[in-house]
Amino acid sequence: MHGSHVLVRPRGPARIGRSRGPLRCGIVGVALVVGAMAGKARADPCASPNVIETMPPDRAQGVPTNAQLFARYGSVAQYMGENVTLEHVGVDDQVVTATFDDTEGVLRIAPSGLVAGESYVTHWPGLHALDTSMVGASFDQHFEVGDVVDTAAPTFGGIESITWDVSRERDSCTGSVDERYVFDLTLGPAADDGGRDSLALLVFQTAGPDVDAMAPTPILVQRVPPAGQTVRVSRTVATTLGHVCFAAIVRDLTMKVSTSGPAACVDTVTPPFFYGCAASGTAGRAGWRAASAASALLLGALALRAGRRRRGDP
């Protein structure tokens, strides 16, 4: 959100814990995990349609020969068939077929025949903004191909810990004051044979008042942050009051995903926005009764969605 941002710590202790069982997502479901990212997973609706980040990052080296390439755009971007050009430096330029996931805001290409040791530039187009005449800036993604073929799924330690706070933000789009919880997620180690820096992080809410037990709610997609950095998730009070759990996976450049590890849980309380006092969090265990069944539920939802797509159903 844009505008003023004031954090107010809640009175009383915050309970931080982890659920009992791991939430796993098989390789077969990776495209559907991505496709399931509803509009909630995207950012500020007033954002420009510019490229936010690419996977692999610009100037990456050692990119796998079988890599797919991704560009994540601002939340208002829409793809209207603009050309994506892959330049093989010193050799040729080629317009390649692109696929846009408008729930993630991610434009993807799957080039064939990347040559080890060679340099490339992906010329990502500027996209139009929804309901306006605005066109975002184009972006050139430079990278060098290594001699690695990405064959293994990434490994990921999941969410190791979670802290929460309360915020009041003035939305520069509407002028209204938005009262939200913010959660800082500490991530475990992540690795992949295609390189850690090219991994995408997908976070979803697995428990809370607005979460369907049969379908965890996707809330964030971004490139995995540098080791040691936390990831901040902002959610409305209505969707995260009480017992709340989050889980995360990482995805590599060949669309393979990791397991998530146990969900990380916390108990929020009604925010006393008029208090300015601080309270320290106390560690504890907060079990989530649905955690042991989360894997089956998520994979079942993914399989159902896959069946619908094969039949041509919405």
Same domain, 160 and 235: yes
Looking at residue 46, its pLDDT comes to 52
Name which residue leads in pLDDT, 48 or 272: 48
pLDDT tens-digit profile of 149-167? 999 999 999 999 999 998 8
Is the pTM here over 0.75, yes or no?
A: no
> Which CA distances in Å does 206 have to 154, 189, 229, 285?
21, 21, 22, 16
Residues 174 and 227 in one domain: yes
Task: Label residue 183 by pLDDT band (50, 70, 90).
Answer: very high
Q: What does pLDDT average to over the chain?
A: 77
Q: Which of 10-14, 21-25, 168-172, 301-305 has the highest mean pLDDT?
A: 168-172
User: Which residues lie closer than 8 Å to 148 by C-beta, 6 or more apart?
Assistant: 62, 64, 65, 193, 194
* 286 & 167 share domain: yes
Q: Are residues 193 and 163 in the same domain?
A: yes
Residues 179 and 234 in one domain: yes
Are 198 and 130 part of one and the same domain?
no
Instruction: Assign residue 87 the CATH number of its domain.
Output: 2.60.40.1220
Boundary residue ending a domain (102, 118, 145): 145
- Looking at residue 102, its pLDDT comes to 87
- pLDDT at position 212: 84
Residue type, position 7, single letter:
L
Least confident segment among 133-137, 255-259, 306-310: 306-310
Q: Do both 261 and 246 map to the same domain?
A: yes
Residues 12 and 112 in one domain: no
C-alpha distances in Å from residue 263, one per residue of 148, 175, 233: 32, 35, 15
Q: Is the pLDDT of residue 31 over 90?
A: no
Q: Which domain holds residue 134?
A: 51-145
Q: Which of 110, 145, 180 corresponds to the end of one domain?
A: 145
* Count of domains for the chain: 2
| Amino acid 75: pLDDT | 86
Same domain for 106 and 221, yes or no, is no
245 in the same domain as 165: yes
Instruction: Look at the chain and count its residues.
Output: 314
Residues 264-280, mean pLDDT to the nearest whole number: 62
Dist. CA 285–CA 288, nearest whole Å: 10
One domain for residues 36 and 57:
no
217: nearest Cα among 74, 19, 41, 43 = 41
Whole-number percent of the chain with pLDDT over 70 = 69
Query: Which of these three, 145, 178, 204, is where a domain ends?
Result: 145
189-221 burial string, b = 16+ CB within 10 Å, else e?
ebebbbbbbbbbbbbbbbbbeebeeebbbbbbb
The model's confidence at residue 284, banded by pLDDT at 50, 70 and 90, is very low
Q: How confident is the model at residue 132 (pLDDT cuts 50, 70, 90)?
A: confident
Q: Is the pLDDT of residue 305 over 60?
A: no
Q: Given a cut of 50, is residue 19 above it in pLDDT?
A: no
pLDDT (0 to 100) of residue 184: 96
Which residue type, as a one-letter code, is found at position 124? W
Check whether residue 24 and residue 114 sit in a common domain: no
Residue 301 has pLDDT above 60, yes or no: no
pLDDT digits (tens, 9 = 90+) for 67-103: 999 999 998 999 999 999 999 999 999 999 999 998 8
